[in-house]
Amino acid sequence: MEQAGSTIKLTYREALKQGIREALKKDDRVFLMGEDVGRYGGAFAVSKGLLKEFGEERIMDVPLSESAFTGAGIGAALAGLRPVVEIMTVNFSFLAMDQIVNNAATLFHMSGGQLNVPVVIRMSCGIGRQLAAQHSHSWEPFYAAIPGLKVLAVGTHEDARGMLLTALQDPDPVLLFEYTYLLNVEGEIASNAGAVDIITAKVRREGTDVSIITYGAAVPKALAAADELATTGIRAEVVDLRVLRPLDEETFLASVRKTHRALLVEEAWRSVSVSSEVSARIMEKAFYELDAPVKRLGGVEVPIPYPKHLEDACLPQPNDIVNAVKKMLQHD
């Protein structure tokens, strides 16, 4: 990690680790539990060194049973602790679906407001590391459909550093989707970076010609596409949704009302996606602001293949975003 004035340069992985470390230091009720998070240092080395620093009661290795340890985390939250449950990869989270959907998400409602479940569940997510169908996929839309959950997409280093800290203050269950594709990517954040809000979407780049609305690992791709478009005189605005449930529709609708065009980009499959919902809300609430139809770019609807060239072909790439924007503008 390099120090440079009022900013620091670090990897996405290190930003995640700093957030976990600060959370553990700030509140004795916080502990991390998951497969291989302790002695092995985490499947993606995010928790490396934390066992030695905080001990086995705060960094807890668990058996290979997602349903069991996620349920234990929910129970600990009900008892007043602040557990951070790590599910190694989003694919494995379906083994804990009963606990997440039928317990964590419903207990507040079903108890008449008597039982809060302040559990934070972190999942490695996304595509791009040749992990094939067993360990890839972006299944955020599945969870974003469920009332009772707050669903966050960690698409920047700033959010990797700070989202967990705020999520641990929430009285209800929060899911953080962290992207394996970004782990080794370096970025700059403020040297005093800390907690960030988990309510609003963010405009990552201002523009006037088109709104590129995205989240997660597609955020840097959208920003790269916007840079290329700028060389041709096209000013694209990039909106990072960040919070997939509840959606901050005020921010993305304001962007569409400014640019009058919307391109929705995500790595999840195109059908029944987050973009589907965003598109519907734009049509319902900003239809007469549009100068062109809403356009969506999503993942090709196949199980994610192993070969890199096929994996790349499954996802929207910066060049695909550039071409889609140019086509939208030619439509005018």
What angle (nearest 5°) sits at the alpha carbon of residue 155, between those of residues 54 and 235?
155
Tell me the longest C-alpha to C-alpha distance in the chain.
61
Task: Please name the residue that has the structure tokens 């079903």.
Answer: 110
pTM of the model: 0.93
Contact assessment for residue 104 and residue 119, using Cβ atoms and an 8 Å cutoff: yes
For residues 68-82, average pLDDT: 98
Distance CA 77, CA 81 (A): 5
Distance CA 259, CA 115 (A): 44
Give pLDDT tens digits for 118-145. Answer: 999 999 998 877 778 878 888 999 999 9
Distance CA 177, CA 138 (A): 9
Give pLDDT tens digits for 200-255. Answer: 999 999 999 999 999 999 999 999 999 999 999 999 999 999 999 999 999 999 99
Let me know if 66 is a catalytic residue.
Answer: yes
For residues 58-76, average pLDDT: 97
Active-site hit among 14, 22, 35, 66: 66
* Rounded (10°) CA dihedral 64, 65, 69, 74: 150
Residue 4 has pLDDT above 80, yes or no: no
> 52 is written with which tokens?
């030695």
Return the amino acid letter for 230.
A
Composition of the chain by helix, strand, coil, percent to 5: 40, 20, 35
Domains assigned to the chain: 2-190 (3.40.50.970), 202-331 (3.40.50.920)
For residues 1-24, average pLDDT: 87
Residue 326 has pLDDT above 70, yes or no: yes
Q: Which residues on neighbouring strands pair with residue 264, listed in sequence order?
A: 213, 296
In angstroms, what CA-CA distances link 99 with 94, 135, 159, 204, 265?
10, 21, 26, 35, 30
SS3 3: strand
Contacts of 86 (CB under 8 A, 6+ apart): 32, 33, 34, 35, 37, 42, 47, 121, 122, 123
Residue 18 has pLDDT above 90, yes or no: yes
pLDDT band at 331 (very low <50, low <70, confident <90, very high): low
Let me know if 137 is a catalytic residue.
Answer: no
For residues 251-271, average pLDDT: 97
Distance CA 279, CA 107 (A): 31
Give the per-residue pLDDT at 217.
Answer: 95
For residues 28-32, average pLDDT: 98
Distance CA 198, CA 55 (A): 29
Residue 332 has pLDDT above 60, yes or no: no
Q: What percent of the chain has pLDDT over 90?
A: 90
Query: Is omega for the bond preceding 246 within 30 degrees of 0, making it cis?
Result: yes
CA 304 to chain centre: 19
Give the per-residue pLDDT at 128.
Answer: 76
Distance CA 259, CA 176 (A): 30
Nearest to 266 by CA among 303, 304, 329, 314: 314
Active-site hit among 35, 135, 157, 158: 135
The sign of the torsion formed by the CA atoms of 32, 33, 36, 40 equals positive
